[in-house]
Structure 1
Amino acid sequence: MTNPAAVLWDMDGTLVDTEPYWIRAETELLNAHGIDWSEEQGLEFVGNDLLTSAAMMQDAGLDLPAREIVDTLLDEVVAKIEASVPFRPGALEFLDAIVSAGIPCVMVTMSYRRLAEAVISACPEGSFVGLIAGDEVSAGKPDPEPYLKGAALLGLEPGACVALEDSKPGLASAEAAGTIAIGIPHLVELEQRPGRNLWSSLQGRGVADLQELTSQLSV
Protein backbone atom coordinates (compact mmCIF):
# COMPACT_ATOMS: atom_id res chain seq x y z
CA MET A 1 0.00 0.00 0.00
CA THR A 2 1.29 3.45 -0.94
CA ASN A 3 1.16 6.52 1.30
CA PRO A 4 0.24 9.85 -0.26
CA ALA A 5 3.25 12.14 -0.68
CA ALA A 6 1.57 14.74 1.57
CA VAL A 7 -1.77 15.69 3.12
CA LEU A 8 -3.07 19.22 2.51
CA TRP A 9 -5.45 20.28 5.27
CA ASP A 10 -8.16 22.89 5.10
CA MET A 11 -8.46 24.57 8.50
CA ASP A 12 -11.89 25.90 9.43
CA GLY A 13 -14.64 23.29 9.27
CA THR A 14 -12.15 20.47 8.65
CA LEU A 15 -9.47 20.64 11.35
CA VAL A 16 -11.27 23.09 13.66
CA ASP A 17 -14.64 24.85 13.86
CA THR A 18 -14.10 28.52 14.70
CA GLU A 19 -17.35 29.72 13.11
CA PRO A 20 -19.09 30.21 16.50
CA TYR A 21 -16.14 32.37 17.57
CA TRP A 22 -16.50 34.55 14.47
CA ILE A 23 -20.26 34.93 14.87
CA ARG A 24 -19.83 35.92 18.53
CA ALA A 25 -17.04 38.42 17.75
CA GLU A 26 -19.07 40.05 14.95
CA THR A 27 -22.21 40.23 17.08
CA GLU A 28 -20.35 41.72 20.07
CA LEU A 29 -18.65 44.36 17.89
CA LEU A 30 -21.93 45.47 16.34
CA ASN A 31 -23.72 45.49 19.70
CA ALA A 32 -20.87 47.51 21.26
CA HIS A 33 -21.55 50.22 18.68
CA GLY A 34 -25.27 50.29 19.41
CA ILE A 35 -26.34 48.12 16.50
CA ASP A 36 -28.98 45.52 17.30
CA TRP A 37 -27.62 42.23 15.94
CA SER A 38 -28.02 38.60 16.96
CA GLU A 39 -25.85 35.52 16.57
CA GLU A 40 -28.60 34.10 14.35
CA GLN A 41 -28.15 37.06 12.00
CA GLY A 42 -24.41 36.41 12.19
CA LEU A 43 -24.95 33.25 10.16
CA GLU A 44 -25.24 35.59 7.15
CA PHE A 45 -21.47 36.05 7.36
CA VAL A 46 -20.56 32.36 7.25
CA GLY A 47 -18.18 31.54 4.41
CA ASN A 48 -17.32 35.16 3.61
CA ASP A 49 -13.79 36.48 3.40
CA LEU A 50 -13.14 39.04 6.14
CA LEU A 51 -13.35 42.14 3.96
CA THR A 52 -16.76 41.05 2.65
CA SER A 53 -18.02 40.56 6.21
CA ALA A 54 -16.59 43.97 7.14
CA ALA A 55 -18.50 45.57 4.25
CA MET A 56 -21.72 43.87 5.40
CA MET A 57 -21.16 45.19 8.92
CA GLN A 58 -20.66 48.70 7.52
CA ASP A 59 -23.94 48.28 5.60
CA ALA A 60 -25.59 47.38 8.92
CA GLY A 61 -24.43 50.76 10.30
CA LEU A 62 -20.96 50.12 11.75
CA ASP A 63 -18.98 53.32 11.20
CA LEU A 64 -15.43 51.94 11.20
CA PRO A 65 -12.85 51.43 8.42
CA ALA A 66 -12.89 47.92 6.94
CA ARG A 67 -9.29 47.22 7.99
CA GLU A 68 -10.06 48.19 11.60
CA ILE A 69 -13.09 45.88 11.61
CA VAL A 70 -10.99 42.98 10.27
CA ASP A 71 -8.19 43.56 12.80
CA THR A 72 -10.66 43.80 15.68
CA LEU A 73 -12.37 40.55 14.71
CA LEU A 74 -9.04 38.77 14.20
CA ASP A 75 -7.79 39.92 17.61
CA GLU A 76 -10.93 38.56 19.27
CA VAL A 77 -10.95 35.20 17.48
CA VAL A 78 -7.20 34.63 17.95
CA ALA A 79 -7.65 35.29 21.68
CA LYS A 80 -10.47 32.72 21.81
CA ILE A 81 -8.34 30.19 19.89
CA GLU A 82 -5.45 30.70 22.30
CA ALA A 83 -7.83 29.97 25.19
CA SER A 84 -9.55 26.93 23.65
CA VAL A 85 -9.27 25.30 20.23
CA PRO A 86 -12.50 23.70 18.94
CA PHE A 87 -11.06 20.74 17.01
CA ARG A 88 -13.44 18.81 14.77
CA PRO A 89 -14.30 15.24 15.83
CA GLY A 90 -11.47 12.82 15.04
CA ALA A 91 -9.27 15.52 13.50
CA LEU A 92 -6.43 15.45 16.03
CA GLU A 93 -6.31 11.67 16.08
CA PHE A 94 -6.22 11.52 12.28
CA LEU A 95 -3.53 14.21 12.15
CA ASP A 96 -1.42 12.28 14.67
CA ALA A 97 -1.74 9.06 12.65
CA ILE A 98 -0.65 10.83 9.46
CA VAL A 99 2.35 12.52 11.10
CA SER A 100 3.35 9.28 12.85
CA ALA A 101 3.41 7.58 9.45
CA GLY A 102 5.94 10.14 8.25
CA ILE A 103 3.55 11.89 5.85
CA PRO A 104 4.10 15.67 5.76
CA CYS A 105 1.10 17.96 6.30
CA VAL A 106 0.56 21.46 4.92
CA MET A 107 -2.32 23.72 5.98
CA VAL A 108 -4.15 25.37 3.07
CA THR A 109 -6.64 27.90 4.42
CA MET A 110 -8.40 31.10 3.45
CA SER A 111 -7.96 32.32 7.03
CA TYR A 112 -5.30 34.96 7.63
CA ARG A 113 -1.82 33.77 8.61
CA ARG A 114 -1.87 34.96 12.22
CA LEU A 115 -5.09 33.05 12.91
CA ALA A 116 -3.84 29.92 11.14
CA GLU A 117 -0.57 30.07 13.09
CA ALA A 118 -2.54 30.21 16.35
CA VAL A 119 -4.32 26.98 15.37
CA ILE A 120 -1.07 25.31 14.28
CA SER A 121 0.52 26.28 17.60
CA ALA A 122 -2.27 24.40 19.40
CA CYS A 123 -1.50 21.20 17.45
CA PRO A 124 1.24 18.77 18.53
CA GLU A 125 4.67 20.13 17.66
CA GLY A 126 5.76 19.28 14.13
CA SER A 127 2.25 18.53 12.88
CA PHE A 128 2.50 20.96 9.96
CA VAL A 129 5.58 21.58 7.83
CA GLY A 130 4.03 24.45 5.87
CA LEU A 131 1.16 26.92 5.59
CA ILE A 132 -0.64 28.60 2.68
CA ALA A 133 -2.78 31.42 4.12
CA GLY A 134 -5.67 33.36 2.63
CA ASP A 135 -3.96 36.74 2.86
CA GLU A 136 -1.01 35.43 0.82
CA VAL A 137 -2.68 34.16 -2.38
CA SER A 138 -3.81 36.16 -5.39
CA ALA A 139 -6.90 34.00 -5.92
CA GLY A 140 -8.69 32.17 -3.13
CA LYS A 141 -10.80 29.02 -3.14
CA PRO A 142 -12.52 27.82 -5.37
CA ASP A 143 -9.57 28.81 -7.56
CA PRO A 144 -6.95 26.01 -7.61
CA GLU A 145 -4.10 28.39 -6.66
CA PRO A 146 -4.09 27.64 -2.89
CA TYR A 147 -3.73 23.87 -3.39
CA LEU A 148 -1.28 24.25 -6.25
CA LYS A 149 0.86 26.36 -3.90
CA GLY A 150 0.42 23.84 -1.08
CA ALA A 151 1.85 21.03 -3.19
CA ALA A 152 4.57 23.25 -4.68
CA LEU A 153 5.69 24.21 -1.18
CA LEU A 154 6.97 20.63 -0.85
CA GLY A 155 8.09 20.33 -4.48
CA LEU A 156 5.29 17.84 -5.18
CA GLU A 157 2.77 17.31 -7.95
CA PRO A 158 -0.80 17.93 -6.69
CA GLY A 159 -1.86 14.47 -7.87
CA ALA A 160 0.50 12.89 -5.32
CA CYS A 161 -1.21 14.75 -2.45
CA VAL A 162 -4.44 14.17 -0.56
CA ALA A 163 -6.53 17.26 0.27
CA LEU A 164 -9.10 17.38 3.09
CA GLU A 165 -11.99 19.84 2.70
CA ASP A 166 -15.42 20.57 4.19
CA SER A 167 -16.81 23.32 1.93
CA LYS A 168 -18.01 23.57 -1.67
CA PRO A 169 -15.42 26.23 -2.65
CA GLY A 170 -12.65 24.35 -0.88
CA LEU A 171 -13.45 21.01 -2.44
CA ALA A 172 -13.74 22.65 -5.86
CA SER A 173 -10.30 24.22 -5.35
CA ALA A 174 -8.71 20.91 -4.35
CA GLU A 175 -10.31 19.05 -7.27
CA ALA A 176 -9.36 21.73 -9.79
CA ALA A 177 -5.76 21.57 -8.57
CA GLY A 178 -5.71 17.84 -9.31
CA THR A 179 -5.26 16.57 -5.77
CA ILE A 180 -6.80 13.39 -4.37
CA ALA A 181 -9.59 15.38 -2.75
CA ILE A 182 -11.72 14.17 0.15
CA GLY A 183 -14.85 16.06 1.19
CA ILE A 184 -15.94 15.91 4.83
CA PRO A 185 -19.22 17.88 4.95
CA HIS A 186 -19.81 20.09 7.98
CA LEU A 187 -22.15 23.10 7.68
CA VAL A 188 -23.19 22.45 4.08
CA GLU A 189 -23.88 19.28 2.11
CA LEU A 190 -21.43 18.30 -0.61
CA GLU A 191 -22.77 16.86 -3.83
CA GLN A 192 -21.96 13.21 -4.44
CA ARG A 193 -20.75 12.61 -7.99
CA PRO A 194 -18.75 9.90 -9.82
CA GLY A 195 -15.13 9.87 -8.77
CA ARG A 196 -15.65 12.15 -5.77
CA ASN A 197 -14.53 10.98 -2.33
CA LEU A 198 -16.84 11.92 0.55
CA TRP A 199 -16.38 10.90 4.19
CA SER A 200 -19.02 11.60 6.83
CA SER A 201 -16.36 12.32 9.47
CA LEU A 202 -12.67 12.01 10.30
CA GLN A 203 -13.54 9.88 13.32
CA GLY A 204 -12.17 6.37 12.99
CA ARG A 205 -10.16 7.21 9.89
CA GLY A 206 -6.51 6.25 9.56
CA VAL A 207 -3.59 6.07 7.16
CA ALA A 208 -5.00 2.86 5.64
CA ASP A 209 -7.96 4.89 4.32
CA LEU A 210 -5.55 7.22 2.53
CA GLN A 211 -3.52 4.31 1.20
CA GLU A 212 -6.67 2.80 -0.28
CA LEU A 213 -7.28 5.97 -2.31
CA THR A 214 -3.70 6.32 -3.53
CA SER A 215 -3.57 2.61 -4.42
CA GLN A 216 -6.71 2.98 -6.57
CA LEU A 217 -4.95 5.66 -8.60
CA SER A 218 -1.93 3.48 -9.25
CA VAL A 219 -3.95 0.51 -10.50
Structure 2
Amino acid sequence: MTNFNAIKGFIFDLDGVIADTSVYHAQAWHQLADELGVTWTAELADNLKGVSRMDSLELILKAGNLTDAYTPAEKEAYATKKNTNYLALLKNMDASAILPGIQAFLDDLVAHNYQLALASASKNSPLVLEQLGLAGYFSERVDPTKLKRGKPDPEIFTRGAELLNLPPAACIGVEDAKAGVEAINAAGELSIGIGDPTILGAAAINFNDTSELTLANIEQALN
Protein backbone atom coordinates (compact mmCIF):
# COMPACT_ATOMS: atom_id res chain seq x y z
CA MET A 1 0.00 0.00 0.00
CA THR A 2 1.15 3.52 -0.78
CA ASN A 3 2.80 5.59 1.93
CA PHE A 4 0.49 8.52 2.76
CA ASN A 5 3.44 10.94 2.87
CA ALA A 6 4.33 10.02 -0.74
CA ILE A 7 1.06 11.49 -2.03
CA LYS A 8 1.48 14.91 -3.64
CA GLY A 9 -1.55 15.25 -5.90
CA PHE A 10 -5.26 14.44 -6.24
CA ILE A 11 -7.04 13.82 -9.53
CA PHE A 12 -10.83 14.14 -9.42
CA ASP A 13 -13.68 12.87 -11.52
CA LEU A 14 -16.51 15.43 -11.55
CA ASP A 15 -19.97 13.88 -11.69
CA GLY A 16 -20.81 11.94 -8.54
CA VAL A 17 -17.61 13.07 -6.82
CA ILE A 18 -17.66 16.89 -6.79
CA ALA A 19 -21.29 17.46 -7.75
CA ASP A 20 -24.27 15.45 -8.90
CA THR A 21 -25.01 16.59 -12.44
CA SER A 22 -26.85 13.35 -13.28
CA VAL A 23 -30.14 14.93 -12.20
CA TYR A 24 -29.72 17.57 -14.95
CA HIS A 25 -28.81 14.92 -17.54
CA ALA A 26 -31.93 12.96 -16.55
CA GLN A 27 -34.15 16.06 -16.86
CA ALA A 28 -32.77 16.85 -20.31
CA TRP A 29 -33.24 13.27 -21.56
CA HIS A 30 -36.73 13.22 -20.04
CA GLN A 31 -37.62 16.34 -22.04
CA LEU A 32 -36.39 14.68 -25.23
CA ALA A 33 -38.16 11.38 -24.50
CA ASP A 34 -41.43 13.31 -24.04
CA GLU A 35 -40.88 15.04 -27.39
CA LEU A 36 -40.26 11.67 -29.08
CA GLY A 37 -43.32 10.13 -27.42
CA VAL A 38 -41.26 7.63 -25.43
CA THR A 39 -42.51 6.75 -21.94
CA TRP A 40 -39.98 7.81 -19.30
CA THR A 41 -39.37 5.21 -16.59
CA ALA A 42 -37.02 4.89 -13.62
CA GLU A 43 -35.42 1.89 -15.34
CA LEU A 44 -34.72 3.90 -18.49
CA ALA A 45 -33.25 6.74 -16.43
CA ASP A 46 -30.97 4.27 -14.64
CA ASN A 47 -29.79 2.69 -17.90
CA LEU A 48 -28.59 6.06 -19.21
CA LYS A 49 -26.19 6.75 -16.30
CA GLY A 50 -22.57 6.94 -17.43
CA VAL A 51 -23.52 6.18 -21.05
CA SER A 52 -22.38 8.37 -23.97
CA ARG A 53 -24.80 10.83 -25.56
CA MET A 54 -25.42 8.87 -28.77
CA ASP A 55 -25.72 5.53 -26.93
CA SER A 56 -28.20 7.13 -24.52
CA LEU A 57 -30.30 8.34 -27.44
CA GLU A 58 -30.28 4.83 -28.95
CA LEU A 59 -31.52 3.39 -25.62
CA ILE A 60 -34.41 5.89 -25.57
CA LEU A 61 -35.32 5.14 -29.19
CA LYS A 62 -35.15 1.40 -28.48
CA ALA A 63 -37.49 1.85 -25.49
CA GLY A 64 -40.02 3.45 -27.83
CA ASN A 65 -39.48 0.93 -30.67
CA LEU A 66 -38.08 3.81 -32.74
CA THR A 67 -34.58 2.45 -33.46
CA ASP A 68 -35.03 2.65 -37.24
CA ALA A 69 -37.34 5.66 -37.32
CA TYR A 70 -34.65 8.33 -37.75
CA THR A 71 -31.66 8.92 -39.99
CA PRO A 72 -28.15 9.32 -38.52
CA ALA A 73 -28.37 13.06 -39.19
CA GLU A 74 -31.72 13.30 -37.35
CA LYS A 75 -30.27 11.35 -34.43
CA GLU A 76 -27.31 13.75 -34.27
CA ALA A 77 -29.75 16.66 -34.19
CA TYR A 78 -31.69 15.12 -31.31
CA ALA A 79 -28.49 14.43 -29.36
CA THR A 80 -27.45 18.06 -29.88
CA LYS A 81 -30.89 19.21 -28.74
CA LYS A 82 -30.52 17.18 -25.54
CA ASN A 83 -27.17 18.84 -24.83
CA THR A 84 -28.70 22.28 -25.42
CA ASN A 85 -31.47 21.41 -22.93
CA TYR A 86 -28.85 20.16 -20.47
CA LEU A 87 -26.76 23.35 -20.72
CA ALA A 88 -29.87 25.46 -20.14
CA LEU A 89 -30.67 23.44 -16.99
CA LEU A 90 -27.06 23.76 -15.79
CA LYS A 91 -27.47 27.53 -15.61
CA ASN A 92 -29.70 26.91 -12.56
CA MET A 93 -26.89 25.05 -10.79
CA ASP A 94 -25.05 26.75 -7.94
CA ALA A 95 -22.85 25.89 -4.95
CA SER A 96 -25.76 24.05 -3.31
CA ALA A 97 -25.11 21.22 -5.80
CA ILE A 98 -21.60 20.57 -4.39
CA LEU A 99 -21.66 17.15 -2.72
CA PRO A 100 -21.35 16.94 1.11
CA GLY A 101 -17.86 17.58 2.47
CA ILE A 102 -16.25 18.35 -0.90
CA GLN A 103 -15.78 22.10 -0.38
CA ALA A 104 -14.07 21.51 2.98
CA PHE A 105 -11.93 18.72 1.50
CA LEU A 106 -10.75 20.92 -1.39
CA ASP A 107 -9.92 23.74 1.05
CA ASP A 108 -7.94 21.27 3.20
CA LEU A 109 -6.01 19.96 0.19
CA VAL A 110 -5.08 23.50 -0.86
CA ALA A 111 -4.05 24.37 2.72
CA HIS A 112 -1.73 21.34 2.73
CA ASN A 113 -0.23 22.22 -0.68
CA TYR A 114 -1.54 19.24 -2.61
CA GLN A 115 -1.78 19.68 -6.37
CA LEU A 116 -5.23 19.22 -7.93
CA ALA A 117 -6.38 18.16 -11.40
CA LEU A 118 -9.74 17.39 -12.94
CA ALA A 119 -10.19 14.21 -15.00
CA SER A 120 -13.73 14.44 -16.31
CA ALA A 121 -14.87 13.00 -19.63
CA SER A 122 -17.51 15.74 -19.83
CA LYS A 123 -16.89 18.56 -22.30
CA ASN A 124 -19.21 20.67 -20.10
CA SER A 125 -17.02 20.41 -16.98
CA PRO A 126 -15.62 23.99 -17.27
CA LEU A 127 -19.18 25.37 -17.18
CA VAL A 128 -20.10 23.11 -14.25
CA LEU A 129 -17.05 24.25 -12.23
CA GLU A 130 -17.92 27.91 -12.92
CA GLN A 131 -21.53 27.39 -11.82
CA LEU A 132 -20.36 25.67 -8.62
CA GLY A 133 -17.78 28.38 -7.88
CA LEU A 134 -14.97 25.79 -7.89
CA ALA A 135 -13.10 26.74 -11.07
CA GLY A 136 -10.25 28.29 -9.07
CA TYR A 137 -9.33 24.95 -7.49
CA PHE A 138 -8.69 23.25 -10.82
CA SER A 139 -6.22 25.16 -12.96
CA GLU A 140 -5.15 21.78 -14.35
CA ARG A 141 -7.88 19.98 -16.31
CA VAL A 142 -7.58 17.09 -18.73
CA ASP A 143 -9.10 18.07 -22.09
CA PRO A 144 -11.48 15.21 -22.98
CA THR A 145 -11.50 16.21 -26.67
CA LYS A 146 -7.81 15.25 -26.91
CA LEU A 147 -8.21 11.76 -25.45
CA LYS A 148 -8.12 8.73 -27.72
CA ARG A 149 -9.74 6.30 -25.28
CA GLY A 150 -12.37 6.52 -22.53
CA LYS A 151 -12.46 4.96 -19.07
CA PRO A 152 -11.65 2.20 -18.05
CA ASP A 153 -8.60 3.01 -20.18
CA PRO A 154 -6.07 4.81 -17.91
CA GLU A 155 -5.35 7.61 -20.42
CA ILE A 156 -7.38 10.33 -18.65
CA PHE A 157 -5.73 9.70 -15.25
CA THR A 158 -2.25 9.27 -16.76
CA ARG A 159 -2.73 12.65 -18.43
CA GLY A 160 -3.87 14.14 -15.10
CA ALA A 161 -0.60 13.10 -13.43
CA GLU A 162 1.37 14.53 -16.37
CA LEU A 163 -0.41 17.88 -15.99
CA LEU A 164 0.67 17.95 -12.34
CA ASN A 165 4.24 16.90 -13.26
CA LEU A 166 3.95 14.04 -10.78
CA PRO A 167 4.66 10.31 -11.09
CA PRO A 168 1.43 8.25 -10.96
CA ALA A 169 2.47 6.70 -7.64
CA ALA A 170 2.35 10.18 -6.04
CA CYS A 171 -1.29 10.68 -7.09
CA ILE A 172 -4.66 9.68 -5.69
CA GLY A 173 -7.57 9.39 -8.12
CA VAL A 174 -11.14 9.86 -6.84
CA GLU A 175 -14.03 8.18 -8.68
CA ASP A 176 -17.62 7.00 -8.17
CA ALA A 177 -17.79 4.61 -11.13
CA LYS A 178 -16.40 1.11 -11.62
CA ALA A 179 -14.81 2.03 -14.96
CA GLY A 180 -13.22 5.08 -13.33
CA VAL A 181 -11.68 3.07 -10.49
CA GLU A 182 -10.30 0.60 -13.06
CA ALA A 183 -8.80 3.52 -14.99
CA ILE A 184 -7.06 4.89 -11.86
CA ASN A 185 -5.64 1.47 -11.01
CA ALA A 186 -4.42 0.92 -14.56
CA ALA A 187 -2.69 4.32 -14.43
CA GLY A 188 -0.69 3.16 -11.41
CA GLU A 189 -2.33 5.67 -9.07
CA LEU A 190 -4.00 5.06 -5.71
CA SER A 191 -7.76 4.72 -6.18
CA ILE A 192 -10.51 6.01 -3.91
CA GLY A 193 -14.00 4.78 -4.76
CA ILE A 194 -17.00 6.78 -3.57
CA GLY A 195 -20.08 4.57 -3.28
CA ASP A 196 -21.17 0.95 -2.97
CA PRO A 197 -18.11 -1.17 -2.07
CA THR A 198 -19.65 -4.23 -3.74
CA ILE A 199 -19.51 -2.34 -7.05
CA LEU A 200 -16.26 -0.46 -6.40
CA GLY A 201 -14.41 -3.38 -4.82
CA ALA A 202 -11.31 -2.77 -6.96
CA ALA A 203 -10.67 0.57 -5.20
CA ALA A 204 -7.71 0.69 -2.81
CA ILE A 205 -9.85 2.78 -0.43
CA ASN A 206 -13.63 2.90 -0.35
CA PHE A 207 -15.90 5.52 1.22
CA ASN A 208 -19.70 5.24 1.18
CA ASP A 209 -20.15 8.91 0.34
CA THR A 210 -18.23 12.15 -0.10
CA SER A 211 -18.75 13.25 3.51
CA GLU A 212 -16.18 10.59 4.54
CA LEU A 213 -13.56 12.01 2.15
CA THR A 214 -11.00 13.66 4.46
CA LEU A 215 -7.20 13.59 4.68
CA ALA A 216 -7.46 12.03 8.14
CA ASN A 217 -9.66 9.18 6.87
CA ILE A 218 -7.38 8.57 3.89
CA GLU A 219 -4.29 8.46 6.13
CA GLN A 220 -6.08 6.07 8.51
CA ALA A 221 -7.10 3.80 5.63
CA LEU A 222 -3.53 3.65 4.34
CA ASN A 223 -2.07 2.94 7.76
TM over 0.5: yes
Match of 1:23, SS state, is helix
CA distance in 1, matches of 2:30, 2:49: 13
Please say if 1:150 is aligned against 2:160.
Answer: yes
* Alignment-mate amino acid for residue 54 of structure 1: L
Out of 71, 87, 92, the position equivalent to 2:98 is 87
CA distance in 1, matches of 2:163, 2:104: 24
CA distance in 2, matches of 1:32, 1:116: 27
Asked if the contact 1:164–1:184 (Cα under 8 Å) also holds between the matched residues in 2, the reply is: yes
CA distance in 2, matches of 1:43, 1:140: 20
Cross-structure match for 1:201? 209
Q: CA deviation at 1:178?
A: 0.7
Cross-structure match for 1:53? 56
Distance 1:105 1:67, change over 3 A: farther
Asked if the contact 1:45–1:53 (Cα under 8 Å) also holds between the matched residues in 2, the reply is: yes
Deviations 1:59-92 (A, max 9, x none): 3337463432332222222222221242222122
Out of 55, 67, 74, the position equivalent to 1:65 is 74
Asked if the contact 1:94–1:202 (Cα under 8 Å) also holds between the matched residues in 2, the reply is: no
Deviations 1:17-72 (A, max 9, x none): 11121112111112123333335422221121112112223433374634323322
Q: CA deviation at 1:4?
A: 2.4
Within-5 A mapping of 1:39-188: 39-59=42-62, 60=64, 61=66, 63=70, 65-85=74-94, 86-112=97-123, 115-121=124-130, 122-185=132-195
Question: What count of residue pairs does the alignment treat as equivalent?
Answer: 211
Taking only aligned residues, the RMSD between alpha carbons, in angstroms, comes to 2.5
Q: What TM-score do you get using the length of structure 2 for normalisation?
A: 0.82
Match of 2:86, SS state, is helix
Instruction: Name stretches of at least 5 consecutive residues in structure 2 with no aligned partner.
Output: none
Identity of aligned residues (%): 23
Match of 2:210, SS state, is coil
